[in-house]
Amino acid sequence: MQLVLWLVVGLVLGPSLLGITMPAFFKPLSSLAGALFLALAGWELRFLDFKNNKNFYAKVFVGTFIFPFFFSYFCFQQNYFIGLALAISALPITIQILKEKDLYETDLARKTVTLASLVDICAWAGMAFLIPASDLRSWILSHWVVLAFFAGIILGHFFNRAKNMRAISLQKWLLAPLFFAALGWQIDLKSSFSFKEFASLFLVAIFVKLVGTYVTARWSGESHREALNLASLLNARGAMEIIAANFAYNAGLINATTLSSLVLIGITTSFIAVILVKKT
């Protein structure tokens, strides 16, 4: 959960508190760091037992991605990006929580990692259609963050990240501080935060993920505790939500108020998962 620390550092430096002007070179540098961070997240995707349990994944995928997307889409004036943002999960955060709870070698972990991988792929693939472009070059330039994620997936087929400590250290101690501190530095909570908007997005975000995932997991035969653990983990949006929100903000798809709300949702849903997930 170190991303929270870096965000707070940025909030303190920026207009929310101290009002220090960000150096001109820092924003493009942080954008590059965000793309590399997302590439490493794509590198981490795993489909641990998809072939052995296809019916389970088909049912729960509907509850954890399809239902959240369409419910949010129609709830917020048919906003395509908000639908994707509230349907997304965060594989890096779920893996971290599973390890902290000593659950990483369990059946719950295999199902969570596989579902989070499916959700993240679909969410970022969906974002490839958000920004129209007149030609291939302009499309690539406007979607290079999204493309970095899929480049990471391809790399994951050739290199085992689990054994690559240099990549893990790079993501944790260089890319994450650069990107998340810069993002916090740009947010002005004094003038660009609306509790009403945050509350409406937050309540829908919690409802669609927890209820959708829990109900379909129970339908698939999971116990109450396992279904609740699965729903709580997939409800954690973490860094993926925050990077998606930054991508949309830079593309002019959302305003600063919505950016602030989505960043806070990424943080709060991750803390909720830490509280709700229990070892059976």
64-88 pLDDT tens trace: 999 999 999 999 999 999 999 999 9
Cβ-contact 93, 21 below 8 angstroms = no
Task: Quote the CA–CA distance of 121 and 116 in Å, as a whole number.
Answer: 9
pLDDT digits (tens, 9 = 90+) for 154-174: 887 777 655 566 776 777 788
The residue whose two tokens read 């991605």 is 65
pTM: 0.84
- Cα 135 from chain centre: 29
Which residues lie below 8 Å from residue 128, measured CB to CB, with a gap of 6+?
143, 146
In order of start, what are the domains of the chain with their CATH numbers?
A: 27-43+52-276 (1.20.1530.20)
238: nearest Cα among 123, 109, 125: 123
- The tokens for 184 are 């916090």
Instruction: Check the CA dihedral 35-37-39-42 and report its sign.
Output: negative
Locate 244 and state its tokens. 């998606």
Instruction: Output the CA torsion sign for 261, 217, 214, 226.
Output: negative
* 3-state class (DSSP) for residue 115: helix
- Reported as a single tens digit per residue, the pLDDT across 171-226 is 778 888 888 899 889 888 888 899 999 999 999 999 999 999 999 999 999 999 99
Distance from C-alpha of 259 to C-alpha of 5, rounded to nearest angstrom: 18
| Residues 8-28: tens digit of each pLDDT | 899 899 998 899 999 988 988
